[in-house]
Amino acid sequence: MADQAQPIDNAPDMGSDSANKSRFHPRGQAVIHGINRIGLMSLYKKEVRRFMKVQTQTVWAPAVTTLLFLVIFTVALGRSGREVLGVPFATFVAPGLIVMGMMQNAFANSSFSLLSGKIQGTIIDLLMPPLSEGELMAGIIGAAVTRAVMVGLAVALAMLFYPGVSLAMAHPWAVVWFGLMGSVMLALLGLLTSIWAEKFDHNAAVTNFVVAPLSLLSGTFYVIDNLAPVFQAISRANPFFYVISGFRFGFLGESDIGDTNAAVFQSALGMGVFNLVLAIIIYRVLKSGWKLKD
């Protein structure tokens, strides 16, 4: 009896397993309710750090390029004390150049986010985390707008040292609203481009044949009243025109949108509605997984 084997006490503790299982949510049940703030802020910081690592190229270089536009056009067109909307030509063109730089860099930032992941094979790093389509959009758009604001401040700072330029604001609300609406609009278009594009050539095509022409032909360097009626109508169909003219109105208190301030208010409301519709469309595209999950 002394040789009788003793019972081995290595059986699993079922009570302990039940306790461990109770620590986890049932499979398929949502753990994060509401907004995933940690994930959203992580994506935003990642996108901001990405362009800040090369800030010489992404923030300061656009400021220098935009300042060169100002120098060239004021020398070519601003001779003999030329005035537009009652102010010197350099003061007239400066606000348009600032917001044009903001919009183009917002597009550049958001159009790179998903496209680089698709080309490098790291798109899964954006699709796998517990982020909803709205949170994914918000993180990318927020970072693009951040870059746009930083570029705008850098351009404005550079222009302050240029002779003949005054950046005194007549309506600060218009500067803030149209600057943000223009940045959001191009960030949304950039995100849509990033979803659609399959290589960098596609992205460059949209930049060169859509964004650049619409920016330069939107009244940045002239008032549309100088154009023929047909071309005035074409300009008024360009949303870039309302952003640039509304942003300029914030500095000068004058605009070629309309004869009254009510026209500027209507344009401000229209830009908000346009961006909302565009955001809904892009949200539905992200929700469908088109070009991302195929």
C-alpha–C-alpha distance, residues 88 and 183, integer Å: 27
The strand pairing partners of 84, in sequence order, are 87
pLDDT of residue 226: 83
Q: Is 168 exposed, middle or buried (0-12, 13-18, 19+ CB in 10 A)?
A: exposed
Closest listed residue to residue 51, CA positions, set 123, 132, 116 = 116
Taking Cα atoms as reference points, which of 152, 177, 182, 180 lies closest to residue 265? 177
Helix (H, G, I), strand (E, B) or coil at 288: helix
Contacts of 265 (CB under 8 A, 6+ apart): none
pLDDT given for residue 195 in this prediction: 95
Burial letters 40-63, b for 16+ CB under 10 A, else e: beebbeebbebbeeeeeebbeebb
pLDDT at 219: 86
| pLDDT value for 48 | 96
At residue 2, the pLDDT reads: 45
pLDDT at 5: 46
Whole-prediction pTM: 0.86
User: In whole angstroms, how far apart are CA 152 and each of 32, 146, 278, 281?
Assistant: 37, 10, 23, 27
Task: For the beta carbon of residue 188, count every other beta carbon within 10 angstroms.
Answer: 24
**CA 237 to chain centroid:** 21
Number of other CB atoms surrounding residue 162 within 10 Å: 13
CA Rg value for the chain: 26
Other C-beta atoms within 10 Å of 156: how many? 19
Q: What angle do CA 148, 153, 156 make, to 5 degrees?
A: 120
Question: For the chain, which ranges sit under pLDDT 70?
Answer: 1-25, 27-32, 78-80, 294
Report pLDDT for 31: 66
